[in-house]
Amino acid sequence: METWRNNTIEEETIAETITRLYFSQNSEDRHLAYQFLGEIGIIRPKHALSAMKLLLKALVDKNVINQEHGIYYLGEIGAISSSLSKHLVYSFVMLLLQPNLKPVIEFYILNALEKLNKDSDEVKDFLERGVSDIAYLQVSKLSLQDANERQTAAWRIGKLGAIFFPAVIDLIPALVNRLIDDDDTVKIVTYKALLDLLLQKREDLLKILIENLDTIDNPFLKLQVISLLGDFVKKEPRFIEVVLPLVIKEIEHPNRVIHVKIQKILKSIERASPGIFVKKFKPILVALLKSSSRYAYHWAVMTFTSSLLTELHEQGATDIGSFIDENVSLVDMLNNDHRGNLMQTRVILMMLVHETKETFMKATDANSLAVVGIVESLSQIQKSGLTSETEVVAAYEKLKTILKNSKIILGNGESSF
């Protein structure tokens, strides 16, 4: 009984103290009251709603630090459940709609809104209406003469999209247009806002960017979007197979500056996913060996040499059967589709012949009659002039026949693997 009385007295004393601090004219006292209420709301769920309602007073506190403190705790409490967060959306939105809101308060409110629990349809509905109202006010600011205003508007739309993306979907094109803003800072802020959104919303925003890519007339804006997608897939490799074909498609762009940038993007993607061109996009790579664009052709030859021939060389050292099959597959891809400049693939043909010749001489009994005959046939291709497409096609067919016959001959025991 005595313990119960002591606890009751202690709780009454605490309540009196908090009340005194809460209504104090001293800002430091109120700061302590907000902190206590915030901690109680977080660690004692049954008191969370009461603590939250009392904390709302901090939103109109005359002391900016106290406002920041209260907003922070309201965001933490609102993250606990949607039944709590629904009480905060309206208050936060109304604050954001106020003119001349201090930037630091805006920052805290946006962060608190992002934390709110959004599991209920009611909260989602509140957020969609509130965030839309705030976001649409930013559209006109994206075109203002003041670069600082454009920068802030781009940042706001990015933050609002992180809070509730459906509310800003229609604003994405306007935001994307700032990627080629006259001001470098605006471009950087916009790029980061879109990349952060991509990393958070992934499929939703990725789909929008890809669907609108072909409608972009400005080549440099299109390049910026492709760069954005490239940076995204480096952090989210599981989307590489969706994005990479779009990047490769631009490798044939006639503008040298754009081509160099695309080449850098492709290189960075390959570093993030080694061997991606060989494993997943071999037909596209081989097709570009016949491209009419000298930029695309040189990139394809370089990539083919560094990636595909390296893989072929490794196969030849461990499994001649797989080496032959891969070689035949490459010959088919190069020779069967005659669209493009087949003549310029002569260098690739000679690379394949050389690699085949070297592999057979190293990995088999080079003195056997079968191997000597195969090497001699390959040497004849190397000596060919290949001055016409007909001769190139014939050389491909001859290499393919040699490869298939060699697999049969070597497989029958004429030579050891």
Distance (Å, whole) CA 97 – CA 101: 8
pLDDT over threshold 60, residue 379 = yes
Q: Does residue 25 lie in a domain region?
A: no
Q: Does residue 177 lie in a domain region?
A: no
Stated pTM of the model? 0.79
Do residues 416 and 318 both lie within one domain? yes
Q: Does residue 316 lie in a domain region?
A: yes
Query: pLDDT tens digit string along 122-166?
Result: 999 999 999 999 999 999 999 999 999 999 999 999 999 999 999
Query: pLDDT tens digit string along 69-90?
Result: 999 999 999 999 999 999 999 9
Do residues 227 and 328 both lie within one domain? no
Q: Are 199 and 235 in contact (CB under 8 A)?
A: yes
For residue 325, the enclosing domain spans 277-417
- Using alpha carbons, list the distances in angstroms from residue 133 to 4, 20, 197, 267: 52, 39, 19, 42
H-only helix segments in 56-102: 64-78, 82-85, 89-96
Q: Does residue 244 lie in a domain region?
A: yes
| Domains: count for the chain | 2
Looking at residue 13, what is its pLDDT? 67
Which of 224, 239, 273 terminates a domain? The answer is 273
Tokens read off for 114: 């992002």
Do residues 253 and 300 both lie within one domain? no
Do residues 318 and 222 both lie within one domain? no
DSSP 87: T
pLDDT over threshold 50, residue 413 = no
100 φ/ψ sector (left φ>0, alpha ψ -120 to 50, else beta): left
Q: What confidence tier does 389 reach under pLDDT thresholds 50, 70, 90?
A: confident
Stretch 397-413: mean pLDDT, rounded? Answer: 79
Q: Are 154 and 190 in contact (CB under 8 A)?
A: yes
Q: Are 66 and 105 in contact (CB under 8 A)?
A: no
Do residues 338 and 301 both lie within one domain? yes
> Exposed, middle or buried, 384 (CB in 10 Å: 0-12/13-18/19+)?
middle
Which of 256, 273, 290 terminates a domain? The answer is 273
Q: Does residue 73 lie in a domain region?
A: no
Mutual angle of helices 64-78 and 27-43, in 10-degree steps: 10
Do residues 373 and 242 both lie within one domain? no
Do residues 395 and 266 both lie within one domain? no
Q: Does residue 136 lie in a domain region?
A: no
Q: Are 319 and 374 in contact (CB under 8 A)?
A: no
Do residues 314 and 380 both lie within one domain? yes
Helix (H, G, I), strand (E, B) or coil at 366: coil
Residue 413: partners with Cβ closer than 8 Å, 6 or more residues away: none
Tell me the percentage of the chain whose pLDDT exceeds 90: 49
Looking at residue 178, what is its pLDDT? 96
Say how many C-beta atoms besides its own lie within 10 A of residue 224's C-beta.
Answer: 22
Q: What confidence tier does 337 reach under pLDDT thresholds 50, 70, 90?
A: low
Do residues 253 and 327 both lie within one domain? no
Q: Does residue 120 lie in a domain region?
A: no
Query: pLDDT tens digit string along 262-283?
Result: 989 988 888 888 888 888 888 8
Stretch 286-306: mean pLDDT, rounded? Answer: 87
Q: Does residue 281 lie in a domain region?
A: yes
Looking at residue 367, what is its pLDDT? 62
Host H or E run for residue 223? helix 219-235
Do residues 256 and 387 both lie within one domain? no
Do residues 238 and 337 both lie within one domain? no
Do residues 268 and 281 both lie within one domain? no
Distance (Å, whole) CA 96 – CA 155: 14
Residue 402: partners with Cβ closer than 8 Å, 6 or more residues away: 356, 374, 377, 378
Which of 220, 248, 273 terminates a domain? The answer is 273
